[in-house]
Amino acid sequence: MVKEERLQIIINTLDKDSKVRLDALSALLNVSEDTVRRDIKELDSQGLLRAVRGGAISRSPIPQHYRDREKYNQQHKQAIANKALQFLKDGQVVFFDGGTSVVALATILPTDLKITIITNSFPVANILEDHPSAEVIFAGGRLQKTAFTTIGQETIDTFKKVRADICMLGICSLHHSMGITSIIYEDAQLNNIMISQAQKTIALSALEKINTVEPYYVCPVDDVDVIITETDPDNAILVPYKNLGIEVI
């Protein structure tokens, strides 16, 4: 079997199972584990998967730039936002990060909802600028141009000074054993702080981000209290998260 055929089989297997193991691929491809390891390393360098100890796992398929993400799977984001709305009540202090599902939630806040939103997202702040009942505290800092958010120590310090009722967290990648991860180092740092400063964390995640991993670690998955996706909560992909005691909606 030529190398190109092996690489395609690895990708096809990963698409089906979300993860692959060196020993299983070695048997499937009839080559050594060292050969499989080199193949996985090459695919990782191309951004097609994420190499992990003993094998590989899927990467998040979501576009990186905000302008691309805001147009991607809008119907799914709206379904997620509609489910998330039930958790917001009068008098709460809530963190909104810069995820596009969180932005979708900001667009549907009832005009009579008396709530304080603390965010580092320019789109969220812009949407809520004219909201008659929501107080908005914007966390300043250095502009992350691809995400239209602020990052850095000043941003972190703002969130550290608040004990929020809820953190609404847009997910980059989520895996039941590898935890929550991000493609941007500073985002991972900030998300970790937001989660630690909130009494409840609600992860807003399209199903295609489930069982994927990126390089920068945020926290264990069971630091999240609720996972909201666009699909039926009884979907088999979500069972491992329920088994961890996480509420899945």
Listing DSSP states for 166-202 in one string gives EEEEE-SEEETTTEEEESSHHHHHHHHHHHHTEEEEE
Q: b/e per residue, 212-227, with b = 16+ CB within 10 A?
A: bbbebbbbebebbbbb
pLDDT in tens, 14-26: 877 767 888 888 8
pLDDT in tens, 186-207: 999 999 999 999 999 999 999 9
pLDDT of residue 185: 92
pLDDT of residue 65: 58
Domain 3-57 sits in CATH at 1.10.10.10
**Is residue 200 classed exposed, middle or buried when 0-12, 13-18 and 19+ CB atoms within 10 A define those classes?**
middle
Q: Does residue 225 sit in helix, strand or coil? A: coil
Asked whether the predicted pLDDT for residue 43 surpasses 90, the reply is no
Q: What is the pTM of this model?
A: 0.79
Per-domain residue ranges of the chain: 3-57, 66-248
pLDDT in tens, 136-172: 999 999 998 888 999 999 999 999 999 999 999 999 8
pLDDT in tens, 89-133: 999 999 999 999 999 999 999 999 999 999 999 999 999 999 999
Arithmetic mean of pLDDT over the chain = 91
Whether domain 66-248 has CATH 3.40.50.2300: the reply is: no
Question: Do β-strands 173-175 and 179-182 pair in parallel, antiparallel, or remain unpaired?
Answer: antiparallel
- Spatial separation of the C-alpha atoms in residues 105 and 169, rounded to whole Å: 11
